[in-house]
Amino acid sequence: MTHAILTACHIISAAVFFAVASSDLTSSDNIVQISELRLRDEELTRRVLENDTVLLPCDNHFTFQYVRWFKEDQLLVDSRDSNETLTPDHIRLWSNGSLQISQLQPSDTGDYSCALKTDNDTEVKKMHAIIVQYAPTVKIEPEGVIELPIGAVFQVICEARGVPQPKLYWRWNGKLVDNEMIGNRLSMQIEVGSRAQTGPIDCVANNSIGDLAVTGMFLKVQFPPEVRLVQHIVYTKVGLRSDLECLIEAVPRAVVNWFHHGVPMTYDSRISRYETELQPNGSNLQFNTVIKHTLAIRNVRDSDLGLYECRAENKLGFKSAAIDLTGRPMPCVFKINPGVQSSTSHVLVWQTESLSALMEFKLKFRQIPSASITPQTLDVDYKTEWTILTIPSELSAGPIHITTYTLHGLQPASVYEVVVFARNHFGWSESSKIVRFATGGEVELPNYSTEAELYSNEDFSSVENEEQAKEDSVHLNEVYDSNTSISATSSLWSFAYLTFLTLFAILKYNLL
Ligand SMILES: *[C@@H]1O[C@H](CO)[C@@H](O)[C@H](O)[C@H]1NC(C)=O
Ligand SMILES: *[C@@H]1O[C@H](CO)[C@@H](O)[C@H](O)[C@H]1NC(C)=O
Ligand SMILES: *[C@@H]1O[C@H](CO)[C@@H](O)[C@H](O)[C@H]1NC(C)=O
Ligand SMILES: *[C@@H]1O[C@H](CO)[C@@H](O)[C@H](O)[C@H]1NC(C)=O
Ligand SMILES: *[C@@H]1O[C@H](CO)[C@@H](O)[C@H](O)[C@H]1NC(C)=O
Ligand SMILES: *[C@@H]1O[C@H](CO)[C@@H](O)[C@H](O)[C@H]1NC(C)=O
Ligand SMILES: *[C@@H]1O[C@H](CO)[C@@H](O)[C@H](O)[C@H]1NC(C)=O
Ligand SMILES: *[C@@H]1O[C@H](CO)[C@@H](O)[C@H](O)[C@H]1NC(C)=O
């Protein structure tokens, strides 16, 4: 091809051929004839894009003896030489002396010069510079997922290529890190400080040519296992299937083992274990996977009951949590009192759930000081003994038992507190929350709104029980709102209230 053109160039004296070309040249390139080599001139610098084509004119002579093109002093092509094997494929010499470079690559960037010998033996030289611009690419070191403990120090290095030089910056957990610069290399020293640093670290390069280049690594901050329980107590009965669940977070991933009464579990077709990854939530620790470990016990036997432990361990430490698998009844919950209350009796309603038949309840109640007593007498008078009643349970169709019981012989206009336990074949339930009630008549009562929370049984901090606490506080307010006149002696009561709280805490401890 090129061979044919060059041959044509020699043969045709080409007046017509060049007439078109010369007008083109003078108008478009504004080239002055120069007899000496010119230094690189911005005007002659072509900024082009990858894969573009450029045409470098040499001179506007109609005819010439020969022309040669050089790149950085290295001969590219000579019009006298018909052997073109030395000329790269994408470079082509036109018969009017212009050099065309197509499919420009970054490697074509450089200074180009031509030397032309005119018909009257004048040597004409001309220089061009080509800068092939291209979108950035970036590399990061280290790459992949890096797991490091708190306190570790490491360096991330980002290396970019691209013309013009890109602007480089870091993005950590999606946020910009304020250290951008223009260049080919960016580094950042990181001291691992907290688990919140877990997340992707990206290096971004932008030189306004094409798309941004982004590459990243993922920092995982290591931490010892954390164990959360879905339920601290799992209620069951013989023959049922029960699942014990531990939620475990750890980096590196923890090895989890189950124990029953301190003995490592053995697994078979009846007792198995499995794990599931929970979907991460949108917190700042969203990248840490929570794994739910489940111990599934089918067809529960008596011997399966008791304390289980899930123990999670990684190289930074271990943590375990205990779950009680029990057949005992669930703690009783007092319900909103529906009936008419008299001044000397009180109707109590409570509910419990027991998978095995209920046998009896134990109800404890006692009077607590009314508003008339002062803080001084409170300490002395407060130590009322509990009255303990055993109440047989009635038969119930399902596992839920609702019991109504009326306490008689109470003091009018007094405040009582009451707590109830349930028993089945497997033993006694945990204590219900302590609930207070007032008998009819004028009685001043403290603000109970936060009290129920105090009594939320810490042994049962599962979600259900927290909800129950709220229910109970509503319950208390409703009872008092509708059955007593609440007068605003809140200053005395806030003191008495605080004292109650302390005493109750002690009493509750003794009780349990
Ligand atoms: C030279 O020849 C090429 C190919 O025919 C043409 O495109 C160009 O306009 C001509 N003139 C110059 C000054 O390059
Ligand atoms: C240039 O051409 C090559 C081959 O056709 C292609 O792979 C590449 O993406 C092109 N580059 C640009 C910047 O268009
Ligand atoms: C062209 O040049 C190459 C390398 O110098 C040589 O090997 C080849 O024989 C030459 N071809 C012709 C047709 O002269
Ligand atoms: C050669 O020709 C060019 C025009 O093509 C002219 O400007 C130049 O002066 C001539 N040089 C000589 C030595 O005749
Ligand atoms: C890249 O940089 C240019 C110039 O600073 C800017 O106009 C452009 O918005 C940037 N591109 C992106 C995607 O941020
Ligand atoms: C995600 O949030 C929902 C509700 O906000 C919660 O129920 C669930 O347990 C959370 N999951 C994890 C893995 O923390
Ligand atoms: C009493 O309860 C109300 C809400 O029911 C609360 O806003 C108020 O602060 C409480 N007062 C005292 C003294 O605890
Ligand atoms: C509160 O007690 C009064 C009488 O003591 C009774 O009329 C009223 O129905 C009771 N309210 C509730 C909600 O039990």
Tell me which of 447, 450, 494, 500 to substitute to probe ligand 7's pocket, judged by most ligand atoms within 8 Å of the beta carbon: 447
- Give the nearest ligand 4 atom to 120 CA: 1
Tell me the percentage of the chain whose pLDDT exceeds 70: 72
Q: What is the pLDDT at residue 222?
A: 93
The pLDDT value given to residue 51? 93
CA–CA separation, 44 and 442 (whole Å): 103
Instruction: Give CA–CA dist 65/138, Å, rounded.
Output: 48
Nearest ligand to the C-alpha of residue 336? 8
Residues forming CATH 2.60.40.10 domain(s) in the chain: 2-132, 142-222, 230-326, 333-511
Ligand 1 mean position, distance from CA 21 (Å): 5
Nearest-CA residue for atom 10 of ligand 3: 83
Residues 6+ apart with CB under 8 A from 407: 345, 346, 347, 348, 365, 416, 418
Over residues 108-127, mean pLDDT = 90
Confidence of residue 61 (pLDDT cuts 50, 70, 90): low
Q: Per residue in 353-380, is it b (16+ CB within 10 Å) or e — as a string?
A: bbbbebeebbbbbbbbbebeeeeeebee
CATH superfamily of this structure's domain 230-326 = Immunoglobulins (2.60.40.10)
Q: Is the pLDDT of residue 23 over 60?
A: no
pLDDT for 342 equals 79
Q: Whose CA is nearest to atom 8 of ligand 6?
A: 281
pLDDT value of position 64: 87
CA 167 – ligand 5 centroid, Å? 9
Residue 435 has pLDDT above 50, yes or no: yes
Kindly list the protein residues whose Cβ atom lies closer than 6 A to any atom of ligand 4.
61, 118, 120, 122
- Cα separation, 79 vs 93, whole angstroms: 8
- pLDDT, residue 219, reads 93
Average pLDDT, the chain: 77
pLDDT tens-digit series, residues 32-57:
333 333 444 556 788 999 999 999 99
Q: Reply yes or no on domain 333-511 having CATH 2.60.40.10.
A: yes
d(Cα 327, Cα 233) in Å, to the nearest integer? 10
Name the residue type at position 263.
V
Q: In a 3-state reduction of DSSP, which class is residue 21?
A: helix
Report CA(33)–ligand 4 centroid distance (Å).
10
- Determine the distance separating the centroid of ligand 7 and the alpha carbon of 8, expressed in angstroms: 104
Residue 19 binned pLDDT confidence (cut-offs 50, 70, 90): very low
> Is pLDDT of 127 > 50?
yes
Distance CA 210, CA 388 (A): 83
Give me the residues paired with residue 307 across strands. 324
Query: pLDDT at residue 233 above 80?
Result: yes
**Residue 510 beta carbon below 6 angstroms from any ligand 3 atom:** no
Rg (CA), the chain: 44
107 CA from centroid of ligand 1 (Å) = 24
Is the distance from CB of 113 to CB of 128 less than 8 angstroms? Answer: yes
| Two tokens, residue 482 | 């509708």
Predicted local distance difference test score (pLDDT) of residue 15? 31
Ligand 2 pocket member 51 (CB < 6 A): yes
Q: Which ligand is nearest to the CA of 60?
A: 1
Q: Does residue 407 surpass a pLDDT of 60?
A: yes
The predicted pLDDT at position 397 comes to 81
> Which ligand is nearest the CA of 287, by number?
6
Residue 206 Cβ < 6 Å to ligand 5 = yes
Rounded to a whole number of angstroms, the distance between the first and last alpha carbons of the chain is: 102
Q: Is residue 118 very low, low, confident or very high in pLDDT (cuts 50, 70, 90)?
A: confident
- Ligand found nearest the CA of 493: 7
Asked: is 2-132 a CATH 3.40.50.720 domain? The reply is no
Architecture per CATH, domain 142-222, reads as: Sandwich (2.60)
The pLDDT value given to residue 283 = 55
Q: Is the pLDDT of residue 16 over 50?
A: no
Distance CA 169, CA 179 (A): 6
* Nearest-atom index, ligand 2, CA of 134: 13
Over range 199-209, report the average pLDDT.
Answer: 92
DSSP state of 20: H
Percent helix, strand, coil in the chain (nearest 5)? 20, 45, 40
Looking at the DSSP assignment, which residues form a beta bridge with residue 350?
Answer: 334, 403
What is the model's pTM? 0.60
Q: Whose CA is nearest to atom 4 of ligand 4?
A: 61
- Between vectors from CA 138 to CA 136 and to CA 143, what angle results, nearest 5°? 165
In the predicted model, what is the mean pLDDT of residues 424-440?
A: 89
pLDDT digits 0-9 by tens, 461-507: 333 333 333 333 333 333 333 333 333 333 334 344 444 444 444 44
Please report the beta strands in 183-230, taking only residues with DSSP state E, as ranges in sequence order: 185-191, 199-206, 213-229
Residue nearest to atom 4 of ligand 1 (CA): 94
243-256 per-position pLDDT tens digit: 999 999 999 999 99
pLDDT for 286 equals: 61
Question: Which among 368, 388, 328 is positioned nearest to 511, based on CA atoms?
Answer: 388
Ranges of beta strands (E only) in 327-442 are 333-334, 346-353, 358-368, 387-392, 400-407, 415-424, 427-428, 435-438
The response to whether residue 483 sits with its C-beta less than 6 Å from ligand 8 reads yes
Cα of 37 vs centre of ligand 4, distance in Å, is 18
- Could you tell me if 350 and 450 are in contact, meaning their C-beta atoms sit under 8 angstroms apart? no
For ligand 6, mutation pick of 230, 277, 281 (most atoms within 8 Å of CB)? 281
User: Tokens at residue 214, please?
Assistant: 């982004």
